[in-house]
Amino acid sequence: MKRREFITLVGGAAAAWPLAAGAQQPEKLRTIGFTGQSTRAAESELVAAFSQRLRELGWMENRNLTIEFRWSEGRTERFIQIAAEFIRLKVDVIVTSGTPQALAAKQATSVIPIVFARVGDPLANGLVASLARPGGNITGLSAQSNELAGKRIEILREVVPSLRRVAILANVGNPFSVVELGEAQAAARMLGLEFDTLEIRRAEDIAPAFEAIKGHAEALYVCSDGLVDANKIRINTSALGARLPTMHGYREYVQAGGLMSYGANLPDLYRRCADYVDKILRGTKPADIPIEQPTKFDIAINLTTAKALGLTIPSTLLARADEVIE
């Protein structure tokens, strides 16, 4: 072999070594900090929808992605603790849901990107500058829950035509629940209904709230939030014991024994949340990703609960329902 050919061969091999070494290096592991409103068991379907969509987009846990799950169980003090923990862990993206949790995350960091899977009204609560251009380090999906309050009250009266007085339960420690509470009260007035307001701030307030309306209200409207979500079985059991038909914001509450719900399809929102996370992990700034509105809304009805309450659900409503539990 000639000297020039030998130098060329060696030089080519040396140039190839870094490329071969680079090809053998594992993919960079990105970290998502995921905080749930209530418990892992209560939100298992939402986690599954989120994780499945990430896999479809090429993000595999323990290969190029790790997810740090934290659960607030509806306790306000946990929101700030979890946000601080994610900052210490230096996660790449924080995924959260609910107005109080999203506000806590935003107050904790202006650097780490934040995606909320669902909040009631991100503009009204000051989370974003505008829906088209959120600004800052936060973006996500709106559940539009407050805008549906009137429709929920209408459906409730459709099932209970003799309805005259409705109780409205809300966690007044949640800014958005206060907004939804006002919308529900306004809807009740429009329909000529009287109402009782049940204000709670912690789980211990639930039992006294039901005691306060014993023998008064004829139905119960529940404003959804993390505290309520963590206690939804307890609330539905208490309502059934008090012979109160319930109206909720999401079908997950009906699956937990509630009578009816009307609202955004949460698994769909969490799948779309994964698309936001994917864009951010690939370099898009949260400020440039518009807030999206729900595209799927569900009516869910629990016929087992209806039977226990002695109610007959109108056939016209059953025909419109997206999910009927028997």
Residue 312: what pLDDT?
Answer: 96
Extract the tokens encoding 275: 């698309």
pLDDT at 125: 77
Question: Which tokens is 182 given?
Answer: 């006002």
pTM of the model: 0.83
Residue closest to 324 by CA, chosen among 309, 307, 310:
307
Amino acid 68: pLDDT: 97
- Residue 26 is predicted with a pLDDT of 54
Q: State residue 239's pLDDT score.
A: 97
Looking at residue 28, its pLDDT comes to 84
- Give dist(CA 261, CA 93) in Å, integer: 31
For residue 212, with 0-12 CB atoms within 10 Å meaning exposed, 13-18 middle and 19 or more buried, which class applies?
A: middle
Distance (Å, rounded) from C-alpha 270 to C-alpha 47? 8
CATH architecture of 146-264+298-325: 3-Layer(aba) Sandwich (3.40)
pLDDT at position 146 is: 65
Domain map of the chain by residue range?
A: 30-144+265-296, 146-264+298-325
Degrees (nearest 5) of the Cα angle 311, 315, 316?
120
The pLDDT of residue 126 is 83
pLDDT at 20: 43
Edge-first strand order for the sheet with 219-222 is 194-200, 165-171, 219-222, 246-248, 260-264, 297-302, 323-325
Residue 101: per-residue pLDDT: 92
Question: Please, which residues have CB within 8 angstroms of residue 64's CB and are 6 or more apart in sequence?
Answer: 27, 28, 29, 30, 58
- pLDDT at 240 (0 to 100): 96
> How distant is the alpha carbon of residue 249 from its chain centre?
11
pLDDT of res. 211: 93
Low-confidence ranges of the chain (pLDDT < 50): 1-11, 13-25
Alpha helix (H) residue ranges in 64-115: 76-89, 99-108
Q: Minimal CA–CA distance to 221: which of 163, 265, 274, 279?
A: 163
- CATH class of the 30-144+265-296 domain in this structure: alpha beta
- Please determine whether the domains at 30-144+265-296 and 146-264+298-325 fall in the same fold group of CATH: yes
